[in-house]
Amino acid sequence: MDNGQVTERSQLPGCKRIVVKIGTRLITGDATGLNTTFLDSVAQQLAELREDGHEFIIVTSGAVFLGRKLLALRKSEDSTSLRQAAAAAGQPALMRHWSEALSARGLKCGQMLLTRDDMRDRSRYIYLRNTLETLLDKSVIPVINENDSVSIEGITFEENDRLAAMVAATARANLAVFLSDLDGLYTADPRVDCDARQICRVEPDQDHSAAARGAGGPESRGGMTAKLAAAKMLADCGIPAVMASGYTDRVILRIVDGEQLGTFFVPGRPVQGRKLWIATAIHPMGSLIVDKGAVRALRNPDGASLLPIGIVRVVGRFNAGDLVSVVGPDGDEIARGLSNYPSEEVALISGHHTREIPDVLGHIGDDEVVHRDNMVLVTGD
């Protein structure tokens, strides 16, 4: 353990604040479109773990699926407006069942519906964090879903994997558990490759994207690729994650107890404050392609800002203060940070020394395009 950081399964019992993400295919099941037995099992496990001092946040999918059942929509009826209507119809039913399952065991819950904009704006991000803290302080379990009835970007289920990671980072959770019908990460799709082996542990700098075969079903669109992206985001924030099957008996209890179930994702070095928001809450508006020298400087343990001389090319349009992705010459993302300049000015000063900035732009500007205090390094994909 490094300054309290969890790097081994044996440390999981010490994780107080835990985010549990529930996949759509676990939520659904019986003739009514809801697996109440599963919800009851989750509620019972959380109740038992609460007695040991653990706190929980649930990130749940399933509203669109339930809404489609309620509205009797055919498979061919799949427009954005119909999916949004299904989300609006299904969310109350989904929340009612969660509330019943939890309250039957003496647990209180509160509904939160989020969109990507709630994370992009830093003031709203801080209000969200404060709300989560208050609910947990009052022994209320937040039950969170993406607000699919108004969110066009997040209308696919894969966003809930990313949403769970963003919530875990925002709430400063100690552990994230991703439950689906998959029992972890494999070297290949085990349904079609008899030689596929389960990967029990993933280090923060390991690349397993090739193993992310399309494992999502027709109602669960995230699949392994989305889950790997979420686990990578958590690793960049210093938060461990476990990916396991929700069909495993008492799976949450056993994971928190440190049992070797599913795949354990080892976290990297944790980040705090503004850098945590940069790492998780917003999406890059553009990219800065940099040379090898800039890559070496940024990865230096002492830390370095991104100077214009190391920038080769600008991709996309963005304003000063927007988030940009810093990409190396081989196409790998190196870092993310807030640009001090709009894209047009970055393009003009790229390849120049900082002393040349006033002559190129006609005004005095910052020496750095992205200051290291507003930058987060990204682990390898």
Instruction: Return the CATH number at 255.
Output: 3.40.1160.10
What is 314-366 written as a DSSP string?
A: EES---TT-EEEEE-TTS-EEEEEE-SS-HHHHHHHTT--GGGHHHHHSS---
pLDDT of residue 122: 78
Task: Say whether both 150 and 36 belong to one domain.
Answer: yes
Residue 59: enclosing H or E segment and its boundaries?
strand 55-60
Tell me how many degrees the CA angle 236-128-325 measures, rounded to the nearest 5: 35
> Is 3 a domain residue?
no
Task: Say whether both 323 and 184 belong to one domain.
Answer: no
Beta bridge partners of 114: 146
Task: Say whether both 180 and 321 belong to one domain.
Answer: no
Its domain, for residue 262, covers: 9-276
pLDDT of residue 288: 98
**How far from the centroid of its chain's Cα atoms is residue 211's Cα?**
19
Task: Say whether both 256 and 291 belong to one domain.
Answer: no
- Residue after which a domain boundary falls, among 222, 256, 276: 276
Q: Is the pLDDT assigned to residue 319 strictly greater than 50?
A: yes
> Is 174 a domain residue?
yes
**What average pLDDT does this structure show over 5-29?**
92
Residue 208's contacts (CB-CB under 8 Å, 6 or more residues apart) are 185, 199, 202, 228
- Residue after which a domain boundary falls, among 276, 293, 323: 276
Pairing mode, if any, of strands 333-338 and 323-327? antiparallel
What is 146-165 written as a DSSP string?
A: E-TTT-STT-STTHHHHHHH
CB atoms within 10 A of CB 309: 17
Task: Say whether both 262 and 290 belong to one domain.
Answer: no
Question: Which burial class, exposed, middle or buried, applies to 106 when counting CB atoms under 10 A from its CB (0-12, 13-18, 19+)?
Answer: exposed
Coil/strand/helix, residue 191:
coil
Task: Say whether both 40 and 107 belong to one domain.
Answer: yes
**What average pLDDT does this structure show over 72-95?**
88
Q: What is the mean pLDDT of the chain?
A: 88
What is the percent of the chain with per-residue pLDDT over 70, rounded to a whole number? 90
Task: Say whether both 354 and 235 belong to one domain.
Answer: no
Task: Say whether both 330 and 245 belong to one domain.
Answer: no
> Is 117 a domain residue?
yes
Nearest by Cα to 244 from 264, 216, 214, 221: 264
Residues 289 and 313: beta-carbon distance below 8 Å: yes
Task: Say whether both 289 and 254 belong to one domain.
Answer: no
Joined together, the tokens standing for residue 342 give: 């709009």
Residue 105 phi, psi (nearest 5): -115, 20
Number of domains in the chain: 2
Task: Say whether both 118 and 50 belong to one domain.
Answer: yes
What is d(CA 198, CA 262) in angstroms, rounded to the nearest whole number? 8
What is d(CA 167, CA 162) in angstroms, rounded to the nearest whole number? 9
Q: Is the pLDDT assigned to residue 256 strictly greater than 70?
A: yes
> Is 335 a domain residue?
yes
pTM of the model: 0.82
What is d(CA 310, CA 245) in angstroms, rounded to the nearest whole number? 45
- Residue after which a domain boundary falls, among 230, 255, 276: 276
> Is 61 a domain residue?
yes
Task: Say whether both 156 and 220 belong to one domain.
Answer: yes
**What average pLDDT does this structure show over 372-378?**
89
What is the percent of the chain with per-residue pLDDT over 90, rounded to a whole number? 60
Residue 374's contacts (CB-CB under 8 Å, 6 or more residues apart) are 274, 275, 278, 337, 338
Residue with tokens 């669960």: 220
Joined together, the tokens standing for residue 135 give: 């609910």
Helix intervals (H) in the chain: 24-27, 36-50, 63-70, 80-103, 117-120, 122-137, 159-170, 223-237, 251-256, 273-280, 292-298, 343-349, 357-361
**What average pLDDT does this structure show over 225-232?**
87
Q: Is the pLDDT assigned to residue 37 strictly greater than 50?
A: yes
> Is 4 a domain residue?
no
> Is 1 a domain residue?
no
What is d(CA 381, CA 376) in angstroms, rounded to the nearest whole number? 15
> Is 139 a domain residue?
yes
Backbone CA torsion sign across 348, 354, 358, 363: positive
Domain at 292, CATH number: 2.30.130.10
* pLDDT band (50, 70, 90) for residue 287: very high
Residues 323 and 284: beta-carbon distance below 8 Å: yes
Task: Say whether both 225 and 296 belong to one domain.
Answer: no
